[in-house]
Structure 1
Amino acid sequence: MAQAAEQAVEQPSGQAAQAGPATIGNSEFDRDTAVTLREEGVYDAELSAGWTIIHAVNGGYLLAMLGRALGQALPHPDPFSVSAHYLTASVPGPAVIRTQTVRTGRTLSTGQASLFQYAEDGTEVERIRVIATYGDLDGLSDEVRTSAKPPAIPPLEHCLGPSDGPAVIPGSSAITERLDIKLDPSTVGWAVGQPSGKGEMRGWFGLADGRDADPLSLLLTVDALPPTSFELGLKGWTPTIELTTHIRCRPAPGPLRVSITTRNLAGGFLEEDADVWDSADRLVAQSRQLARVPRS
C-alpha cells in the first residue's frame, strides 16, 4: 500500500470524507478498516457497525481489515493469496489484531494474523485467523494465458439494486448502504419469492462513495454479493467457515463485475466460487469459500 494511503487510514472512523467521490486512502472503507500500531505485531482496530449483515460483521470487511494490518507488518505491499478461517462471529466494537511474519523472501513474504475481541469478563476471543502471502502486483509479468471469460451480465442500467424492491433480509441494510451493487435480473428471483434453483449470483459492484477498487478492497468484493443460497431457495445468514482469495492484478478504475457459483450443497455446507473482473476485462480476483447452509 502506498505510504499516503497508510497515513490516510489512520484517521479516526467517522471523520467526514472530502467533497466529491472518495479516493483510495480517503474513503469510508479506508477509515473503517484502519488499524493503529500498539506495539510490534499488534494493532488496535474498531469494527464498524456500518458493515454488518443480519447483525454480524461481514466476512469480506474483516478480511480487508486483517489484510491492511498484514500489509503494514510485511515488507511487500500487496495481498496475493489470503486464506481465512472464521472461528466465531464478530460484532461491532473494539478489536485487536496480532500479526506474525512467517517468512520473508525477495519477491514474496508470508505472514499470519488473528483478530480478537473481548468477552464480558475481559478475556480475548479469537474471531478470525488468516495466513497470507504478499508481493508487489506492479512487478508481475504481463503475460496472460487464460480460458476464463468475463460473465455475461446485462448493462448496469438494466440490473437491479436494493432500491428496486423491498428489503428482504431484516437487519441487513447497514452494509448495503455502503455498497453499489446492481444484480443480474436472472439471479434475483429470490427477492420476489421465485428463486431459480440455480446456485448463481452475478452483478456489478462498487463502493457507494465512488472509491475505486484496489487490491485491499477486492478482499471485500469477493464476499459482498448476496449468497448463492438465496437462489437455491434458502433464507437467512450464510456464515463463512473458510475463505481463500487470490488477487491476480491491480484493478483498473471503474465498476467491477462479480460472478459467484455454487455447484454442490451437501451435509449442511456449500461452496461459493467467485470471479471478479475489472473495467478492462481482466480477471483481478478469484475466491472459494466454504459456508454453512442457513438454518431454517
Structure 2
Amino acid sequence: MAELDEVLGLTWVDGPATRQGGVATGRGHLGEDWLIGRAVNGGVLMALGLGAVAEGLTASGHTAPLSWGAHFLSAAQAGPVEVSVEVLRTGRSVSTAQARVVQSSDAGPVERVRLVGSFGDVARTTTVHRAPAPPSLPDPGECLPATRDASPAAAPITMLDRLDVRVDPSTAGFAVGRPTRRGVIRAWLRMRDGREPDVAMLPYAVDALMPVSFDLGVPGWAPTLELTGQVLGDPAPGWLLVELSTDTVVGDLLVEDALVWDSTGRLVARSRQLAGIRMPSA
C-alpha cells in the first residue's frame, strides 16, 4: 500500500456514514513522516477527513469533494486520530457532510480541524469550458529538488521525505536566501513512492508545498486558519504542477492561492487559504 493511502486508512467502529443523518467514527494514526516542524501537515488532515466522508458515500457515487471548507482549530500531532463524520444531506447529484478530526490529550479530546464539503461524481467535471492554462516552466529534470538538506528552512519539514518536489528555478531563490518577493512558488509534485495522483490526493496537493510566504522572505511557519478548495477533475497519471501565489498580506494574515494542473495541462484543483504570517518589523 502507498504511504499516503496508509495514513488515510481508517478502522470504522460501526462502518462509515452512508446516508443523511448518519454519523460514524473512524480511527487511524498520523505518523511522524507527515510533520512540518512539530505539526502534521494540514493537507493530510483534509485528505483524511474528506476521504472518510467519501468512503461512506461510495454507493451513491458521490465520492469527489467538489468543494470543501476547512477550519483549523489546533495543531495536529503525530499519534492516534479519530475522524467523526456526519452526513448532512444526500441528494441525487450532490451530498453534503461534515468531518471532525480529533485527537486525545491530557485535558481530553481536542478537535484539530472541522470540514464541511459538497460531494458528487467527478465525471460531471469532464467537459472544460473555461480554466486557467498552466504556467510555462522547465521539465521536472531541469528544476530544483526540494529536499530537507536543501536549506535550513526545509530541514524540519519531515514530509519532504515522502514527496518528490521539483521547484521552478525562477521561484526557488528563497532556498538560497534570495527570495523574489513576488509571492509566487511553482513546482512539480508527485509522491516519492510512485503513487499516482487521484481525486483523493488533491485535497493534500493544494497544501503540500512550502508556504508561498517563503518567497516573500518570511521562511517561518505559516499556520492555516481556513482553507476553501475545489476538485475540478480526475488527474491523469504523472506529475502534478502546483502554483502558489499571494497578492494580499495584511497585518499578520496572508492569503494564499493554489492552482493544481495534471500532466496533460488540465486544471484539476484549486484553493484559497487564510494563514498566519510573521512579517519582519522592518
TM-score where L is the length of structure 1: 0.87
- Aligned to 1:190, what secondary structure does the other structure show? helix
Q: Pick closer, same or farther for the CA change 1:145–1:194 going to 2, 3 Å.
A: same
- Of the three residues 188, 205, 220, the one matched with 2:172 is 188
Amino acid corresponding to residue 64 of structure 1 in structure 2:
A
- Aligned to 2:207, what secondary structure does the other structure show? coil
Amino acid corresponding to residue 73 of structure 1 in structure 2:
G
Tell me how far 1:255 sits from its aligned partner. Answer: 0.4
- Aligned to 2:144, what secondary structure does the other structure show? coil
The 1-side partners of 2:148 and 2:34 are apart by 21
Tell me how far 1:162 sits from its aligned partner. Answer: 2.7
Q: Pick closer, same or farther for the CA change 1:157–1:90 going to 2, 3 Å.
A: same
Tell me how far 1:141 sits from its aligned partner. Answer: 5.5
The 1-side partners of 2:214 and 2:35 are apart by 18
The 1-side partners of 2:94 and 2:43 are apart by 23
Q: Pick closer, same or farther for the CA change 1:28–1:96 going to 2, 3 Å.
A: same
Give the CA RMSD over aligned residues: 1.6
- Of the three residues 36, 50, 74, the one matched with 2:11 is 36
Structure 2, unmatched stretches of 5+, are: 15-22
Equivalent residue runs for 1:86-235 within 5 Å: 86-121=72-107, 123-138=108-123, 140=124, 142-163=126-147, 166-169=150-153, 172-235=156-219
The 2-side partners of 1:170 and 1:258 are apart by 18
**Structure-2 residue corresponding to 1:56:** 39
Tell me how far 1:30 sits from its aligned partner. Answer: 0.2
The 1-side partners of 2:147 and 2:66 are apart by 35
Q: Pick closer, same or farther for the CA change 1:197–1:141 going to 2, 3 Å.
A: closer
- Aligned to 2:86, what secondary structure does the other structure show? strand
Structure 1, unmatched stretches of 5+, are: 1-25
**Structure-2 residue corresponding to 1:22:** none
TM-score where L is the length of structure 2: 0.91
Amino acid corresponding to residue 40 of structure 2 in structure 1:
V
Tell me how far 1:147 sits from its aligned partner. Answer: 5.0
Q: Deviations over 1:196-237 (max 9, x none)?
A: 111101010000011100111111110011111111010211
The 1-side partners of 2:127 and 2:199 are apart by 19
Q: Deviations over 1:11-47 (max 9, x none)?
A: xxxxxxxxxxxxxxx3010011111111351111111
The 2-side partners of 1:256 and 1:287 are apart by 15
Percent same amino acid among aligned pairs? 39
The 2-side partners of 1:63 and 1:171 are apart by 24
**Structure-2 residue corresponding to 1:80:** 66
* Displacement over 4 Å in runs of 4+: none
Kindly tell me the number of residue pairs found equivalent between the two proteins: 269
Amino acid corresponding to residue 97 of structure 2 in structure 1:
G
**Structure-2 residue corresponding to 1:67:** 50
The 2-side partners of 1:92 and 1:293 are apart by 24
Conservation of the 8 A alpha-carbon contact between 1:204 and 1:255: yes
